Structure 1
Amino acid sequence: MDNRNITNTGNDYNRTQAGLGAGTLQRLDDLDDFKVADGDPDIRGWSVRTSDGRKIGEVDSLIVDTTAMQVRYLDIDLDRKALDLKEDRHVLVPIGGARLDDDKDDVLLTGITGAELLAMPPYRHGQPVALNHDTRDHDVDAKKFYGNREGSGRVERLTLSEEELRVGKRTRAAGEAHVHKTVETRHVSEKVPLKHEELVIETRPLQPGTPAQGEITDGEVRIPLMAEEVVVDKQAVAREEVVIRKKVVEDEKTIEADLRRERLDVDRTGADTSRRDTRH
């Protein structure tokens, strides 16, 4: 693959080379006839974030090597509020210290901390930039920086999803039990022995020696007679205790559902149009 990230669109290339001299870089915005190579993303204006996702600025321009036709540095406009800066400030970050996010239009700093970023010398537009020898020798930095987006702009992706059955449990009200007492009447019969006094009268002959002479008069003797009677009383007596509690009974219920999933069908066009790939 051609590792050039910049293309020349006119005669400005020869004119720029004549004024630059060996080892000099320039901002892409200052070169009228240079542009980002077709297929590569133009990251100017993209947010710049640290590895923990914190935004610290955005890409203002690209510093390019017009000899190698490659991007060497990122001109980053630092976020004054995020970094607590008193004035606007630009710094140059080698592309070896950053990479493009695979999923969104962000530039991620990989080997540079916030403190190191603030320690970098400020960069002002129009200021000459010398090409660092190490940067010149590490063309692999460009491939590492662009990653999957090099030569193709944005990597197209399809996500294949499928449904999973997730069964949970929750407690619901299943009814209510009312426990209460009622009074019922039953008829009982019980035999009770009762005692009573009766009058017993008997006559006996007089005992010898008893005077035989008597007197005829009226006489009366009162003798109280006693008898037992039934006295009925009712009393509530505790006979037993009722203990009421709940217990958990476990049973099983079969859950059935239809689950969907996506599959990838690839239709190939060309000499052999009958070939069809299916990926799950």
Structure 2
Amino acid sequence: METKDRNLYRLDELSDYKIASNYSDVRGWKIVDADNRTIGTIDNLWVNKDMQRVVYLDVKVDKKLIEDSHNEVHDAIAYDNGKEFVYKDGDSHIIIPIGSVNINKDTKIVMANGIGYDTFRNTSRYNSQYNFGRDYERNVMKSYYPADETAFNDDDFYNRREFENR
């Protein structure tokens, strides 16, 4: 994705941004599905600079989940500068909309709401060394919310409950 068109940044790229005092810094916390199965660890947060808020959790997927999906065919894939790249071993991250989780400050565990282990297992992953484009975001959202496919147009993409930090 070209920098001039970019509106999503990892929090650690933005030296002038920090997490508001009334929110938890969930980086390093475990994330589980609704059945308490481990999905992975939150590696970073994706910030929409236009909206000035976190919209995605960047999750380093648990090795077991990757092994469970090793033989699955993924309709791939992440994009970098508009070019597709092949699903590789280094593709070990997924994004999860911030409004799709509950954060438990006491246990320091994040739980995905209504997204099951098999969905995460079959969701296309990306390599954290690269940025992803809107096509990857759409593919992920279609994976998580297949019945809501028509609501992923560019004009109001982030104006959805899945991106509300509750």
Give TM class, smaller chain.
0.5 to 0.7
- Residue 115 of structure 1 corresponds to which residue in structure 2? 118
- Residue 160 of structure 2 corresponds to which residue in structure 1? 138
Give CA-to-partner distance per residue, 1:186-213, whole Å, 9 cap, x none: xxxxxxxxxxxxxxxxxxxxxxxxxxxx
User: Residues of 2 paired with 1:46 and 1:58: CA distance?
Assistant: 6
User: Residues of 2 paired with 1:137 and 1:75: CA distance?
Assistant: 19
Structure number having the greater strand percentage: 2
Say which of 90, 93, 97 aligns to 1:94: 97
Q: TM-score, normalised by structure 2?
A: 0.64
User: Residues of 2 paired with 1:82 and 1:118: CA distance?
Assistant: 6
Counterparts of residues 1-280 of structure 1 (less than 5 Å): 19-21=3-5, 24-81=7-64, 83-84=66-67, 87=89, 89-101=92-104, 103-125=106-128, 126-130=130-134, 133=154, 135-138=157-160, 141-144=163-166
Given that 1:25 and 1:128 are in contact with CA atoms closer than 8 Å, whether structure 2 keeps it comes out as no
- What displacement does 1:70 show? 1.1
User: Residues of 2 paired with 1:58 and 1:135: CA distance?
Assistant: 26
User: Residues of 1 paired with 2:5 and 2:161: CA distance?
Assistant: 20
User: Which has the higher Rg, Structure 1 or Structure 2?
Assistant: 1
Structure number having the greater helix percentage: 2
SS of the residue 1:68 aligns to: coil
SS of the residue 1:42 aligns to: coil
Given that 2:98 and 2:162 are in contact with CA atoms closer than 8 Å, whether structure 1 keeps it comes out as no
Residue segments in structure 1 that go unaligned for 5+ positions in a row: 1-18, 145-280
SS of the residue 1:36 aligns to: coil
Considering only aligned residues, what root-mean-square deviation do their CA atoms show, in Å? 2.5
Give CA-to-partner distance per residue, 1:54-101, whole Å, 9 cap, x none: 222110001110111111111100110355256451111112322212
Q: TM-score, normalised by structure 1?
A: 0.40
- What displacement does 1:139 show? 5.7
Distance 1:28 1:102, change over 3 A: closer
Larger RCO: Structure 1 or Structure 2 (Cα < 8 Å, ≥ 6 residues apart)?
Answer: 2
Given that 1:25 and 1:129 are in contact with CA atoms closer than 8 Å, whether structure 2 keeps it comes out as no
Distance 1:52 1:37, change over 3 A: same
SS of the residue 1:116 aligns to: helix
Instruction: Please tell me the residue identity of whatever aligns with 1:38.
Output: S
Residue segments in structure 2 that go unaligned for 5+ positions in a row: 71-88, 138-151
